Amino acid sequence: MFKLPEPLAEQWSYRELLMRMTSRDLMLRYKQTVMGFGWAVFMPLVNTAIFSVIFTRVTTVDVGVAYPVYAFSGLVIWNFFASSLRFAVNSLTSNPSLVTKVYFPREIFPFSAVLVSLVDLGVALLVLFGVMAWYHVGIGWSIVALPLVILAAAMFTAAAALVVSMANLFYRDVKYLFEIVIAVWMFATSVVYPVGRVGGRLGAVLTLNPMTPLVEAFRDVLINQRFPGTEFMVMATVSAIFLAGAWAAFHAAEFDFAENL
């Protein structure tokens, strides 16, 4: 009889708690806000407008499709990643009593942050489809690969969430460095411009960015009407390995969490 690995089996047994944590975090995030889930798409739309002015009026970048569609599609998947990490980084340190006094898989905290952002991604996708319709960008059969792309992005994001939440618990400077790193990382990714066109040593360094294949694959299946290429398949495999490694490291360090809170 097939048995799930211990971390997965334990997570499965606590799945109801994970859902409750996610529901709680969703309610807390938008509590007493007028726009509610509208905030999930407001900032990407504002950033799209800003970058559209820069890259269509100040300077011109040929991206093969209406620039607002290109920028908004990149910002939608990037915001899922960045928002997940932004809430995950403090997920352990902001719940000291639960971490130290009650037993359950501690990875529920960063995983909950990822699931909440996944809900936001679903809302943003609806708006993205509207933007695509406005600019007459059609949807092809490649969209059937969208769940696979989102799964790969979620695996990489969950792995990074485990790492940053654990790192911030041991080193509180991480939450301050995080905002700098995430801002620089966005511009090193093909979010608002194709980084593949950057030449020289900088271009060579940017090709190592693990988020670019995920963002490009997201665009490919939605607006370019083609299935993800080899780079995405490699990155999907790397994401799965990264998640397994981060999860193992998280469990190995779990016994020291209470001492650092």
Cα–Cα distance between 63 and 79 in angstroms, integer?
20
Contacts of 120 (CB under 8 A, 6+ apart): 37, 40, 79, 80, 83
The sign of the torsion formed by the CA atoms of 62, 65, 66, 70 equals: negative
Confidence at residue 18, expressed as pLDDT on a 0 to 100 scale: 86
**For the chain, domain boundaries:** 9-260
Question: pLDDT (tens digit, 0 to 9) for every residue of the chain, 261 residues total?
Answer: 556 666 777 777 878 888 888 888 888 777 766 666 666 777 788 888 888 888 777 777 778 888 999 999 999 999 999 999 999 999 888 888 777 777 778 899 999 999 999 999 998 999 999 999 999 998 999 999 999 999 999 999 999 999 999 999 998 889 899 999 999 999 899 898 888 778 778 787 888 899 999 999 999 999 999 999 999 999 999 999 999 999 999 988 887 887 776
